[in-house]
Amino acid sequence: MHSFNGIYVRTVKPSLHLENTRVFDSGDGVSMDPGGINWTIQSVAFKYIRDDCVEDDFLYSGTIDDSLFDGCYDGISARTWSGQSPDPGDGSNNLIVMKNSLLRLQAMDAAYSGPLPNHNSFWKWDTKAPKVALYNNIFRADEDSWESGSGAQMWMGPPPGKLADCENNVMVWLGPGNFNDVLRARGEQALPATFNGKPCFTITTDKSVWDTAVAQWKANHPTLVSDVGAPIVSLFSPGTVGSTTLKGTVTLTATAVDDREVAGVQFKLNGQNLGGEVRSESTPTKFKLT
């Protein structure tokens, strides 16, 4: 599920401008591979992207503006790979600007490694990758990345040594513990509260900050596109591996997503409802089986 793309740029052009585009249930949202030198992504809505929401592995300069990335396995990628052709060279003098945008990491039902469901990081970065400038963005994570540590080149905070400028960003952290403590445990630095005298990042555990921003973005970007994708439901626990006989207390863990919205999820056993319909994001549900 990682190997196909919503938009795949192959022809090298002096510039690429992608605007008012919607992608649902794709591998990469958009991939410059190789192409789109000095690219701009504006007012796009990418949802349930099973790899990188934006892939810039040829290390070009680019701008992301006024966009909604509502569920990414990885956020933004600028990381070279073995056998890459043509050789992207050193892009460390390039710059990626991200502004006025929303980006949420989402655990997926297909992953490169680790227990399901899981996701990776906001930034998948190379030492030769561009610098980043971040303005007025909201990031959201409900848990840590499955891959941790600097050796994986996966960063939940801005890639080290790559932050060129920063102002008025928010990290919505809904996972356990303190987000900066999570970063330190990964071998990362705490999010910078200021940068060159300007407010850089604030951290909140208030989910309504994200919900309100998403609702406002959708109100500002109405669409006449109909519901084009069927809902995607994945049951992780108890799952399909191991004993088919269940007893005692069983935790039910599932994800459900649609290109519009999911009205509700109802667990059933032998045609009978288990509990009430779930109408919002919730923690794993436990039921007593006899």
Per-residue pLDDT of the chain (290 residues; tens, 9 = 90+): 445 566 666 665 667 889 999 998 888 999 887 765 789 999 999 999 999 999 999 999 999 999 999 999 999 999 998 888 888 889 999 999 999 999 999 988 777 777 778 899 999 999 999 999 999 999 999 999 987 654 558 999 999 999 999 999 999 999 999 999 999 999 999 999 999 999 999 999 999 999 999 999 999 999 877 777 778 787 777 765 555 677 777 777 777 887 777 778 888 878 888 888 887 766 555 555 55
Say how many C-beta atoms besides its own lie within 10 A of residue 213's C-beta.
Answer: 18
Residue type, 30: V
Length of the chain (residues): 290
Distance CA 102, CA 289 (A): 41
Residue 238, both tokens: 């108890």
**Would you give the DSSP letter of residue 236?**
E
Which of 253, 240, 238, 246 is CA-nearest to residue 290? 246
pTM, to two decimals? 0.88
CA geometry: angle at 134 spanning 132 and 136, to 5°? Answer: 170
Residue type, 15: S
Distance CA 273, CA 276 (A): 7
Q: Which residues contact 166 (CB under 8 A, 6 or more apart)?
A: 133, 134, 135, 158, 192, 195, 198, 200, 201
CA torsion sign for 128, 133, 137, 139 is positive
